[in-house]
A and B are shown apart, each in its own frame.
Chain A
């Protein structure tokens, strides 16, 4: 064995495993989280593809009038039909398209706005921070569902507006957490050293504060998607969600639950299980992500 070979072998052992791969390893060790990921991906794929690949009538009341209503599951309708005669299984996917899209988009807006606001407040500090945080306190003291109802009353209902309202009102809690992170990291030695060497504020945020608070941002992002889906379903239940002929899971659960007493279990139970599992799965993924970003759990 030549010296060069042994050096190569030695340095190969010493090369640290990239951070993202270590994190992926921790994440993959959590079997429940992997199962949750698969569940969400499969369900999302089904919701976006099935209504187009195997279209069932979900919007035309006139045609639905000719199909039997509240029919028990059969080979023609795998999960029966609902009280309007729409195919229940097809409707779950049809409504899921809206629920998932709105949930993810609103969650995304939430995290982007929350991160920017929290970063600015935490990093600038001083009077700006105090003013921004008092504003947040004011928002947070208005019960969320009351605020959503107020905004929908004032601004009216449409799908785009629904996304915007949930997105632009859901970030307050997130932004608090991220502001706390920014405040902490700003005062750590490496950030101070960078500033003292003449780095601009933008540079410190970009290369120190943001990468180090990414763990909280990602975790909070997953939880806010789950929350957005939940709030959307509550609005759907109150009749303030997606308007007919479109539908979403909240609206469907509401109309389905009205039929439990008639024994039409297929109109509520399958959807209820799918819905609850979605929220549980997203929360599990959030927990696993938090573990993956926890430095103490990494093997080096």
Chain B
């Protein structure tokens, strides 16, 4: 088990290094290349001489490899992701403001997804091809096909204005604990984000449980007289949990992607909204910094999923230690 985790950790570090190299190299391809911030800051004063001096002062004239080394060094030892010349703040300070906000949003949606999607999938699998199953599958299909932003806008229209009169936007400001101090205003954003992932995960859960239900050990359990409920919960669910944990780990990038749209629609300033605003004003360092950060979250999520898988599934534990 330990060596298995260690091996996965090593893989994650390699993957993270590749992500950093890719994102670091991207600015070289923009108009004006690596000198773009010099042109942006100097504006009308960007004579070749001024640009050269500015670039020299900010270390942009160093070679690619020197800069890459410095970038990785700064990132690893100081968590320094560069400097936004537009906002005149370090990317790290901007990220520090908004990380908790996005993480709370995404985390609460993830927890709600598990609470809803897993029982729903099991229920659908045990009532296969009944009206309930068809209705749930149909809803999931439409939810999967509806663009995130449209779902949010329709939710605002119906539950914000038409009926229930829920708050249509979380409180403004940058308080990291807003979700706990004003939970009512988070019903719509968290609800939309949850619905979107429930659509995919309940469908997957249904398929997995269906596959498990035809296995021999389930038949054996039935044959020896287990109650249907016990077969479902003890014999099927424990075996279906493995794939579901993996898919939850893999769904983290999509969750952050959904959070970006949800933050934009509900005007909740988090990492996603910051990325978007930075992108629209061509503030490249912020976009790259947040991209790296979110990738780190994704890798950590996948790693956690793999570790959880090892804990859930004793077969994997033995395999891992014997290798």
Contact = CB atoms under 8 A, between A and B. Distances in A.
Nearest to A147: B291
Interface residues of A, number: 43
Given A146-B260, A150-B291, A154-B30, A134 B14 contact: yes
B142 A141 contact: no
Contact of A275 (B26, B30, B147): B147
Nearest to B29: A154
- Main SS of the interface on chain B? helix
A253 B15 contact: no
A280 B150 contact: no
Interface residues of B, number: 49
Nearest to A254: B149
Interface stretch (B182-190, B223-231, B279-287, B311-319): B279-287
Interface core residue of B150, B153, B264 (most chain A CB under 10 Å) = B150
A112 interface: no
Contacts of B26: 150-151, 154
Interface stretch (B16-24, B82-90, B123-131, B239-247): B16-24
B275 interface: yes
Contacts of B31: 156
- Main SS of the interface on chain A? helix
B11 interface: yes
B261 to A, nearest CB: 6
A8 interface: no
Contact of B19 (A138, A154, A155): A138
A230 interface: yes
Interface in A211-235: 226, 230, 233-234
A226 B141 CA distance: 12
B279 A226 contact: no
A154 B27 contact: yes
Contacts of B144: 279, 283
Contacts of B132: none
15 contacts: A134-B14, A138-B22, A141-B298, A143-B253, A143-B257, A146-B260, A146-B287, A149-B275, A149-B279, A149-B287, A154-B27, A154-B284, A226-B145, A277-B145, A279-B146
Interface of B: 11, 14-16, 18-19, 22-23, 26-27, 29-31, 141-142, 144-150, 153-154, 157, 161, 253-254, 256-257, 260-261, 264, 275-276, 278-280, 282, 284, 287-288, 290-291, 294-295, 298-299, 302
